[in-house]
Amino acid sequence: MTETNFRTDLDPDGVLSVVWDMPGRSMNVLSEAAIRELAGIVDRVVEDEAVKGVVVSSAKKAFSGGADLTMLEGIARLYASEKAKHGEAAAAKAMFEESRKLSQLYRRIETSGKPWVCAIHGVCLGGAFELALACHYRIASNDASTRVGLPEVKVGLFPGAGGTQRVARIMPPGDALQMLMKGEQIRPDKARAMRLVDEVAPKDEMLGKAKAWILGGGKAVKPWDEKGFRLPGGPVWSKGGFMTFPPANAIYRRETQDNYPAIRAMLQAVFDGLQLEMDRALTVESRLFAKVLRSPEAAAMIRTFFVSMQELNKGARRPNNVPENKLKTIGVVGAGFMGAGVAYVSALAGLHVVLVDRDQAAADKGKAFAEKLVMGQVVKGRMSGEQRDALLGAIEPTADYAALAGCDLVIEAVFEDPKVKAEVIAKVEAVIREDAIFASNTSTLPISGLAKASKRPESFVGIHFFSPVEKMLLVEVIVGKQTGDRALAMALDYVRAIKKTPIVVKDSRGFYANRCVIAYMLEGHLMLTEGVPAAMVENVAKQAGMPVGPLALNDEVALDLGLKIIDSTRAQLGDAAVDPAQERLLRALVEKEGRLGRKNGKGFYDYPEGGKKRLWPGLADLQETKLDPDAIDVSELRHRLLVTQALEAARTVEEGVVTDMREADVGAILGFGFAPYTGGPLSWIDSMGAKRFVRLASALAELHGPRFRPNKLLLDLAEKDETFYGRFAPPKETAEAA
């Protein structure tokens, strides 16, 4: 057998070492070739009497991120081709057989009659951890990088290689379901407490301990294959089962609004599987997995959360003609909430940060914010005292602009006023190197306009962070009219260094994410002014798949900022560009009631100290009309909230603000939480078809006005029966598992 992805070595004691080391990849993944090769190793183990046991390990920094999801995309395509050739029944059978191969392979490991040990160092996730679960003993390193988990739900799938059945037989079903539904990465000590691993040891001792376990009589039979095995939580149809599964179903519906077929199928796999012996349970899991794999939600989420996001993170939009920048020192001008957050994530990435503000006290206050964030990590055990000191030592607060002289990149995060920013640009450019890049963190002001204050507009770029910086994964990189490739490359290299996901957008008012967010909040405001109860607005938004309602979101970004945007919109585009009903609502809240949002503890919601936020009862008094909730079409409200965002996304494509469909979808989900199960607004339009979407939007336009009128691009796609991803197909690239 040719050894390409795995290296094997049989020692004199009969222990076969299997080292996973895929060539040309930074991380091992379960590709078709790797699975075939592993199957050959299993055959050898079963047939060769000289093999007494097996130790599986990895030569990479991490064990494995799991399956190559582009392989699963191929299985989904198999269904479509087989259906066209042989009909739906044959296609379903072919897909079922293909999608269960890994599950069957792992079952062969489990029943091979020889003990298998998995030595885990670094991340071991998804299908790779299902391999570990099929082994008879698991040892994890005590290294800070080691994590195990089954995160498939985050890409619209569930563990389909035995994960649901083995986890639910290792721990009580309530704990198993919680783990499976969260999809979190679990630290070694916690994994041992959960019985997901059997032992935790230093990395250099793992292989020795694994061999010793085998030679010491390690059992090659799993508990559930032994006579008399009892489920940890008792039978499904027991008192414990009744206390687990009905609440689990209720929690699923509360948390997902039944928008995620993978999680629903996973619940069913565990419930049905625990009533069967292992082989039949695995068949049930495989049938449900194959069904989910061909769902539109899985296809969209795999593409957006896995393929597209990885391609963007690896620099899909980076100019090829510019050498990679190895950033060492960056400057941040403005040590307020946003600037301090930028300083923190930059220092966390190992960069030296010069943090500048108007005086030393203000600069020190910015560093203090970073210290508060660091201490939170230390208290939670996610950072050591040594790491804390190193991070804080990397932030240099100062009031002296001359300290920026050695910076590769300077980011301004000062007040949203063109005059203030122009003054900062002049001060910075007077001291920085000729080859340094200047970036503005503006969220509303066009980059091309700000660049007029620069002597080097080709080295001027926008880097728009979202708040709070330390939590939000998206960064918009804005290209002005004169922004050069070197400035764009520097911005993308920086975003990659701080481990966030970039999207590149052309300069325009509101850029991309804010345009869609503003449309979403506007729709919530208008529903309220029409007489829809505030609670209904918020709850329907969550039913549609949004993480928070438009009113709660407005509180987070501040109501007075909304008024400023209205005023600037009127100044730039005239009265017709402002909705009078929205303006009346915001002026009443801000100017008459003094309600600014979360920042002053009162907006659409009240924020009692030490208590949960709740909708302000006074909202009802601001409604001139009050509609009967039972007479309101909930599906129409849901469509309004999603369609308004999707239309805005489509307009940005038509206007050339967004030129890559991957960025539109990834940016929408990471930037403002567009219903993740859809894969993003353009994927949502493509999945229903442009013709159907145009009909839906046109019907809403008839009821609610021209803001819902489909743009020319959408009408053209509908007429020609095309999709966004079909007409504007991104270049083909291969992504590794995360």
Helix boundaries (H) for 589-711: 619-622, 634-654, 661-672, 681-688, 690-704
Residues listed for the chain? 738
Q: How far apart are CA 103 and CA 107, in angstroms?
A: 6
Residue 525 annotated to the active site: no
Task: Decide if 604 contacts 534 (C-beta within 8 A).
Answer: yes
**Catalytically annotated residue among 136, 352, 464, 525:** 464
Q: Which two tokens stand for residue 43?
A: 């055959």
Task: Decide if 301 contacts 687 (C-beta within 8 A).
Answer: no
- Name the amino acid, one letter, at 176: A
Burial-class residue 574 by CB neighbours within 10 Å (0-12, 13-18, 19+).
Answer: exposed
DSSP 186: B
Q: How far apart are CA 605 and CA 598, in angstroms?
A: 8
CB within 8 Å of 63: residues ≥ 6 apart: 20, 28, 57, 120, 121, 122, 123, 124, 128, 132
* DSSP-based three-state secondary structure for 149: strand
Q: How far apart are CA 449 and CA 109, in angstroms?
A: 63
Q: How far apart are CA 108 and CA 381, in angstroms?
A: 39
- Name the amino acid, one letter, at 23: P
Task: Decide if 736 contacts 65 (C-beta within 8 A).
Answer: yes
- Torsion-angle region of 38 (φ positive above 0: left; ψ -120 to 50: alpha; else: beta): alpha
Q: What are phi and psi of 45, to 5 degrees?
A: -60, -45
For 499, what's the count of Cα atoms within 13 Å in the CB-facing half-sphere?
10
Q: How do strand 614-615 and strand 605-606 relate by DSSP bridges?
A: antiparallel
C-alpha gyration radius of the chain: 28
Q: Which two tokens stand for residue 207?
A: 């292989």
DSSP 590: I
Q: How far apart are CA 639 and CA 544, in angstroms?
A: 8
> Which among 302, 338, 318, 345 has a CA at the least distance from the CA of 666?
302
Helix boundaries (H) for 531-579: 534-543, 550-557, 559-573
Q: Which two tokens stand for residue 493?
A: 């290299």
Q: What are phi and psi of 461, to 5 degrees?
A: -145, 160
Q: How far apart are CA 5 and CA 29, in angstroms?
A: 10
> Which among 522, 640, 513, 537 has a CA at the least distance from the CA of 583?
522
Q: Which two tokens stand for residue 673?
A: 């939480």
Task: Decide if 483 contacts 440 (C-beta within 8 A).
Answer: no
Q: How far apart are CA 608 and CA 601, in angstroms?
A: 7
Q: What are phi and psi of 380, to 5 degrees?
A: -80, 0
Task: Decide if 295 contacts 261 (C-beta within 8 A).
Answer: yes
Cα→Cα distances 238→213, 234, 275, 285, Å: 36, 7, 11, 22
Q: How far apart are CA 165 and CA 240, in angstroms?
A: 18
Q: Per the omega criterion (within 30 degrees of 0), is the bond before 468 cis?
A: yes
Q: How far apart are CA 549 and CA 71, in angstroms?
A: 36
Catalytically annotated residues: 464
